[in-house]
Each structure stands twice: as C-alpha cells, then as structure tokens.
Amino acid sequence: MRIRRSIRGASVSMSRFDPRLISEPLEQRRREGTLRQRTIISSRRGSRITVDGREYVNFSSNDYLGLATSPILMAAWREGAEFWGAGSGASPLVTGMTAAHEELEQFICGFLGMEAALLFSSGFAANQAAVKTFVPRGGVIHADRLAHASLAEAAMLSGARLFRFRHNDPVSLRRSLELHGPGLIITEGVFSMDGDESPLGAILSLADEFHAPVLLDDAHGFGVLGDGGRGSVSAQGLAHSSFDLVVGTFGKAFGTGGAFVAGERAVISCLVNFAREYVYSTHMPPCCAHATLAAMKYASRNESLRERLRENIAFFRERMAGSPLEILPSRVSIQPVMAGSSARALAMSSLLRERGILAGAIRPPTVPQGTARIRLSVTAAHTREDLELLASALDEAGRLS
C-alpha cells in the first residue's frame, strides 16, 4: 500500500507498512545478492530476444520446442480470437466455458488415455487446486523435497501434515509412508531446477503397496519426452491412468499458457465442485485453448521437433564435456551449470550477457544455499551457432572465481 502526498509542492511517497515487512527484507536480499528484478523484453522471435535495445540469444526460455512464436501457433491464436474474442469473460461455471475449452479437454483425455481433464489458467493454480481439494486438514502428504513451490505451498495451505522425502529416493519415501501412514504422494516428472527425472515406477509400486494416491506434476516432461510428447510417464513405459492426478502445463513445450489436471471422471468432478482456484477464477481465454489444441496436434505429429531438441542437447553436452564447470546430468532442455555462490552465479550471468547471451542466475531461496547456478534452457529453436557461442562464453565464465 503506497500513499502519495504533496508537501510544499513536492510529491512524497509514503507507506503505512511496518518497515520490518518492506525495507528490511529487501535490504537483506540486496546484501545476499538474491534480490529479484524483472527483465523487460521489447521483442522476441525464435531464440532471439531484445532487451534495452540489444538482441540476445535466449537461453532462459521454457519454450522448449520453439513453438511460442511459430507462424502455425500465431495463426491459430488469431483464428481463435476472431471467433471467440480476446477473453472468456467469466468463470467456467458461469459463462466462461466454451466449446474450445471442451475440445481441448477431450483431446488431452485421448492423448493421455485418461477419463477426464480440467483446464486452469496456470500451473500454479492447477497444483494448488489438486492438492488442497483432495487432502483433508490433518491429513498426510509425502512430497519430494525438491517439489515445485506451488506444490509445497499448497501442501502447507491445506492444513495437512507435510513430510518431505529425500529427492528421488524411494527408500526415503517408504520410510515416510511407514512412519506417518498413507497419504498423497507428490512428485514431478522432470524437476525444474536440476533437470533430473523421478523414478516413477518405484513410486507407483509404493503407492500400490500402501494404497496411497499419487499426484504427478509433469510440467517439464509434457510435450518433450515420450511417444508423441506424452511426457515422463510414456518415456518410462508407464500408463497415465496409473496415476490419480496428472498435472501438465501448456506454457512450456506447447508455447501458449495455462494448465490441466487429469484423472478419473469422479476426481475431476470434485475439482469442478470444490476447487476454489477453478470455481472463482475467470477461465482461460478461449483463443488460448484454441491455439493450445493446435499446438498439441502439431507437436504430437512432428517428432522432428523433439529430435532437433535432442540433437541440440547432445551437441551442447558434448561441447562442454571437458569443461571444469559442473553441469548436472540431464537429458532434457534444463541444463544447470553450477556456480555455488550467488555472487559467482551473478558474475557468470553478467559475463554471458556481455557476450550476447541471456541466461539467468538462479539463487536461494529458489535453490538451496550453496547451489546457485546458471539454469540454461536448450531449445529446438537454437542453432549450432547459438550453442557454440554459449559454450565459448561458458569456457570464459568457468575461469571466474
């Protein structure tokens, strides 16, 4: 809350907030080198973006298949907007639900082999709804220690007892289930900061043994891994119907925005009736649903998109094989280059920017202390020249202390 008052002709900005809530936390972030600031993009096309009048090669994007600015997707968005208008105009239970939304939901069901799906305006909202709707206050949640912030926050808001098992460790999950009893198991297909993958088969075996439901957030695997881009479940030879809740997003591999939750018909009906994030929010724009359907159909049919992505990832990792920099093992777009301290991560990011590359420094509290990094995102839109430029700049950045 900010108040502007005029004192002797001068405009003075004042706040009634306690400084302990505003200035002191911000100053602490500045001292730690973890203060977040926004980057304003003035134009974007493929792997190129413009910031402050300078063009950069963008290695910070989740647009894994390079579809966000593709002519196919932009034409589909325009077509949807011409027919449906710019926005949905209401929540989905009033008049915000259109045939475009229904068609996308039905395609997702057929694509994943699940009974029903429900659209949300963001992955954050979808995860919040999925957790809070199905875990009673005082219930139990077993979550991977590195589960996304939206899942961790939903678990805390649910009023359930939250127990975190060691990352990607079925033995730790078993111990948690034995100690605290069955409850919702939460994991991800691909983890957003490390780019590693969950042992889904082992988790499903424990879920069956302890009769515990499983929520899988496959935001970073959906569209990229598996047959036709069906995601982590398909890539590991499993069936989506084995999971009680599957969450996927459209703002990454499919280049649009929003998310879905898929599950059994009765489960999705519960979300329609009880998920406040769905009931009380203006629905996803129908033109977005229309464009997303076009993106899913196009990407699922064109394996060349994923092949190009795999080739780019392989080229980058081969080029960096002899580097002294620690690059975490990952077969997906997310390629984390470890820096250790926040100061070193910022220095590396600054050097890359000087060389015409935009790659963000990820620092605590997003990642644990001592694990600050450059989170690179290699996409299908990058050229070999882009990747060579990146590798050369990283060779130089690796010499920073």
Catalytic residues: 62, 148, 188, 192, 217, 220, 252
Alpha carbon distance 37, 178 (integer Å): 43
From 338, 352, 346, 331, select the one nearest 397 (Cα to Cα): 352
Query: Within 286-370, where are the H helices?
Result: 286-301, 303-319, 342-354
Within 10 A of 39 (CB to CB), how many other CB atoms are there? 11
CB 292 within 8 A of CB 117: no
Spatial neighbors of 251 by CB under 8 A, at least 6 apart, are 62, 122, 123, 257, 258, 259
Number of C-beta neighbours around residue 6 at 10 A? 8
Of the candidates 322, 395, 320, 330, the one whose C-alpha atom is nearest the C-alpha of residue 357 is: 395
d(CA 202, CA 10): 66
3-state secondary structure at position 144: strand
Classify burial at 219, counting beta carbons within 10 Å of its beta carbon; exposed 0-12, middle 13-18, buried 19 or more.
buried
Dihedral sign of CA atoms 375, 380, 381, 385 in order:
positive
Question: Cα separation of 393 and 224, whole Å?
Answer: 27
Let me know how long the chain is.
401
CA 114 to CA 107: how far, in whole Å?
Answer: 10
Identify the H or E element spanning 164.
strand 161-165
Using DSSP bridges, classify how beta strands 116-120 and 259-263 pair: parallel, antiparallel or unpaired: antiparallel
Q: Where are the beta strands (DSSP E) in 189-302?
A: 214-217, 245-249, 259-263
